[in-house]
Amino acid sequence: MKIKLVLLLALITNISLAQDIAFGHKMVDTLTSRYFWGRGYTNDGAGKAARFLTAQFKAYGVQPMDGKSYMQQFSFPVNTFPGKMEVSVDGIKLRPGYDYIVDVDSRGIKASGSLVQKDSVHFVDDINRIVVTLEKKLTWDVAGKTEDYTGIQIDKKVLKQAPTTIKVNIENKLIDNFKTGNICGIVKGTIKPDSIIVITAHYDHLGGMGSETYFPGANDNASGVTMLLSLARYYGKHPQPYTMAFICFSGEEAGLLGSKYFSENPQIKLSNIRLLLNLDLEGTGDEGITVVNSTIYKSELAMLNQVNDEFHYLVKIYPRGKAANSDHYWFSEKGVPAIFMYTMGGIKAYHDVYDISATLPLTKYEDLFKLLVKFNAKLMNTTPDIN
């Protein structure tokens, strides 16, 4: 495993001076690879990702935020599916992730039974407490508990008729104390080090379902982590008047847990934060970006629009109000100026096996990078060293 990680680091280092779009594609390819197994809760996916990001920060000259360690450790319960993942309906074997998913709070079970139709989409095996639901789209998630049933969501396009029998062999493991951590780094400011701009993105995703299927999470959120790393690499070479801080959160998919933990156990003074910019779903952009909380922080939105109007990076910047839909939320709840930016248009894959690097266009990656650098410069009233 160490050899694989060294090889991955070498590949990234070799392209560190390449154009940002080349860096972006290579980094998303890396973070969505089978090695990281969906950056989740089985096969040490989240742990591998955390160690990889730590090595990147070191390579860029980004220092540990607390002066000691890049990782801020915490833990939480999570229901996992590390082993058997076999489902057959009416004698037809289904593919995990593609034909079906299990409800995230399901218990493991090995059983066969008959299905009774309850309505147009629900079918139940009462004896084995199995519930089958027909869905138009399979969207997976994360749960921190196990219920006394097994839920199976099937893509309705897979079945030619209503299901009548089912055979399952599913293994689950509830981890009461899953250990993980936020990866936190800083580049100290040269003039006003107590004024801080924070860039955040969550590196965790859904992990795997069974021993053969994992969820790559290219747009969500290898794209945001990659943009954060591009900015960390840039600011590591170009220290700014303000301190630039970078936090890669874990536990976002389990309920914004990493950002909640940091906001309650901050390694920097929250009152010193000029602005927190959260990056999630940064892989497209042909239809512009939406900025959550921008109707609250109107002066920051005006600055962002001024930069975009001058350089025409994006077709439009859409304002949006308060929403608890990503890691900015806990900070704004504590009075920290915080916005969340996500790109619009392009692919529709989300929380499924189709959110892959090969189809993630990174349409506006370079333009978005330049927009952020120049926006940050405007926040600091300085001139960026970038064209």
Domain boundaries, the chain: 2-78+176-380, 84-170
**2-78+176-380: CATH number:** 3.40.630.10
CA 32 – CA 221 distance, rounded (Å): 10
Phi-psi region of 207 (alpha: psi -120 to 50; beta: other; left: phi over 0): left
Which two tokens mark 56? 């990147």
Q: pLDDT (tens digit, 9 = 90+) per residue, 285-329?
A: 999 999 999 999 999 999 999 999 999 999 999 999 999 999 999
Confidence bin at 384 (pLDDT 50/70/90): confident
**pLDDT category of residue 18 using cuts at 50, 70 and 90:** very low
Q: What pTM did the predictor assign?
A: 0.94
Q: What is the pLDDT of residues 358-371, one digit of tens each?
A: 999 999 999 999 99
Q: Over the stretch 119-134, which tens digit does the pLDDT of each residue have?
A: 999 999 999 999 999 9
- Cα–Cα distance measured from residue 165 to residue 329, given in angstroms and rounded to the nearest whole number: 45
Integer Cα distance of 128 and 119 in angstroms = 19
From CA 250, how far away is CA 36, in angstroms rounded? 14
- Is there a contact between 161 and 192 (Cβ–Cβ < 8 Å)? no
Beta-carbon-side half-sphere exposure of residue 199 (alpha carbons within 13 Å):
26
**What pLDDT does 4 receive?**
52
Residue 382 neighbours by CB under 8 Å, 6+ apart: 240, 241
Given a cut of 80, whether residue 1 has pLDDT beyond it is no
